[in-house]
Structures are given as C-alpha cells and as structure tokens.
Amino acid sequence: MAAPSRAHARHPTDDPLWAKVVVIGLVLAFLGLVLILPLAAVFAEALRKGLGPAIAAVSTPDAWAAIKLTLITAGIAVPFNAVFGLCAAWAIAKHDFPGKPLLITLIDLPFSVSPVVAGLIYVLVFGLQGWFGERLIDHDIKIIFAIPGIVLATIFVTFPFIARELIPLMQEQGVSEEEAAVSMGASGLYTFWRVTAPNVRWGLLYGVLLCNARAMGEFGAVSVVSGHIRGLTNTMPLHVEILYNEYDFVSAFAVAALLCLLAIVTLVLKSALEIAQPDVKRGGGH
C-alpha cells in the first residue's frame, strides 16, 4: 500500500502510522519469540561445541540408519498418498455422485486424529494382541516394531495432504477440457496425462512438498509403532528423542538441525511455488 504523500491525505481504509508501527512491532516480537527463537536455538545448540562434533553426530551409523529409514518411509508414503490423492480428486472433482461431502470429510479425518491414536490403531490391528497378531507371527511377518508399521502410520497421518490440495483445484478447473478431449476420442488415461496432469502439476507438487515435510518429521504416530530399536526402527525424529533423553544435546540438536534444514527448504520451495503459481494456495492451510 503506497504511503500517503501528506499526513492528512490518509485513505479512509488505511490505518494511522502509529497503529501500523504498534501492530507490526507486536507481530514481529510475537513471531520472534514463538517461531524464530526456537529455530535459531536448534542451530546454536547444535554448534555449541563447533562444527566438528555436530558433523560427527550426524555421521554415526545410527544416525545414518535413521536418515535412511526416514527417506525410505517418505519415499513410500508420499507416492502412495499422491496416487491416492489423484484417484480421489479424479472421482470427486470430475464426477457427480451423492455423499461427496461425507467422502471428503472422511478423507480429512486423519487430520483430526491425534498422532498417538494413529499409531495405536495399527498396534490394535497388527500388534501381538491385535486382530491379525497371531496369524502374522505364524507367517513370521513383523509389522509393528518394524518398518511396515512405521510406513503405515506415516501414510495415515499424511493421508489427506495431497488429496485436499488436488480436490478443490480440480473442482475449480471444471470438466469442460476433459469432456472436449474425450468427445474427440481421447482415452481416459490419455486425457489425464495430456489435459488434467498439466493443469494440476503445480498443485500436486505443492501437496507433495507439505506431505513430505510431515512424513519425514512425524513423531507421535511413528513413536508408538516403532519400538525404538536403534539402527533398525529409528527414524530421524525418534533418533533426536533418544539422543536428547540421553543428555547428548549436541548430537540431538545436530540431527534436529538437519530436520530444520528440511523444513527451511520446504518453506522456501513452498513460497516460491505460491509466488510463481498463486493457484496452488487454495487448498487450505494444513
């Protein structure tokens, strides 16, 4: 908003300068305390004894195993949810059927469930005392306290991210382009690849970005199903917890700093996407 040329020429919907200064000051002080300070503290604590110990902490075999497991988990959960999101958005946005609002609410459900409960439900289904517990033991399949459980819990907590980004985007784009393609003889798959996909790719990327950040950072749900076996079932956030609880603060914060870098990269890419493709932001704020 352009500054008024004279003090008295203030536009009626513009606030007085002192009010702006007070509001911006309050906001910066609040955000500084709540957001910037915690971010800065992670790097300060990680580098408390210099760069050497921090780098050593993230290159131990256990840290590497945690990084690898985190990448594997996100590498499965994110594509899974992307395919699901595309299917759900295609069915919901391009077709009419009764019960649509209910279906969308059910897809959103994991956002309202505590991560701890998200972990618990898979323990109840696949754990030793669970529905399939004995049958899984008979076949020597381990889901809880093993990687499949971690992947499942991660899929659950990130389930709505991509779908809720794509559904409103595809709905606003309507069906006329796809109908035109189909009426000229294009197959469904061809229509999707040549007509729909180019229209939604940035929205998809935006959803993938947010989904990935949550998948790599998930703690509560994964904590319940992981069993915390070092070098085997520890993801990066769980590794941070173990180091912190062992009072190995420099190492804990060094691994945490890696996760901070992931968060910062996510935010930078997200902002860049929002500036380059303003359409992507309509998915809502999760």
Partner 1 sequence: MLDDDHPMTAETIPAAARPSGIKGPRRPLFRRRSAIPGFGLTLGVTLTVLSLIVLIPLSAVAIKASSLSPSQFLAAAFSERAVAAYRLTFGAAFVAAVINGVFGVLTTWALVRYEFPGKAVVNALVDLPFALPTAVAGISLATLYAPNGWVGQYLTPLGIKAAYNPVGVTIALIFIGLPFVVRTLEPVMRDLSADVEEAAASLGAGRFATIGRIILPALGPAWLTGFALAFARGVGEYGSVIFIAGNMPYKSEIAPLLIIIQLEQFEYANAAAIALVMLAVSFLMLLVINAIQAWSRRFV
> Interaction with partner 1 in 177-216: which residues (CB under 8 A)?
178-179, 182-183, 187-189, 191-192, 210, 213-214, 216
Which two tokens mark 248? 């190995």
Q: Which stretch binds partner 1 (CB under 8 A): 54-62, 135-143, 197-205, 248-256?
A: 248-256
Binders of partner 1 in range 145-164 (CB under 8 A): 152, 155-156, 159-160, 164
CB nearer to partner 1: give 24 or 137. 24
Of residues 73 through 102, those in contact with partner 1 by CB under 8 A are 84, 87-88, 90-92, 94-98, 100-101
Site for partner 1 in 102-141 (CB under 8 A): 103-110, 112-117, 120-125, 127, 129-131
Q: Please report which helix (H) or strand (E) contains residue 269, including its range.
A: helix 249-276
Please count the residues of this chain forming the interface with partner 1, following the rule CB under 8 A. Answer: 116
Among 4, 26, 51, 197, binds partner 1 (CB under 8 A): 26
Nearer to partner 1, 200 or 252 (CB): 252
Q: Are 250 and 43 a contacting pair, CB within 8 Å? A: no
| CA pair distance 206, 78, nearest whole angstrom | 12
The rounded distance, in Å, linking the Cα atoms of 63 and 240 is 9
Q: CA distances (Å), 230 to each of 63, 146, 244, 249, in order? A: 9, 12, 14, 17
| 100-112 helix and 61-94 helix, angle to the nearest 10 degrees | 160
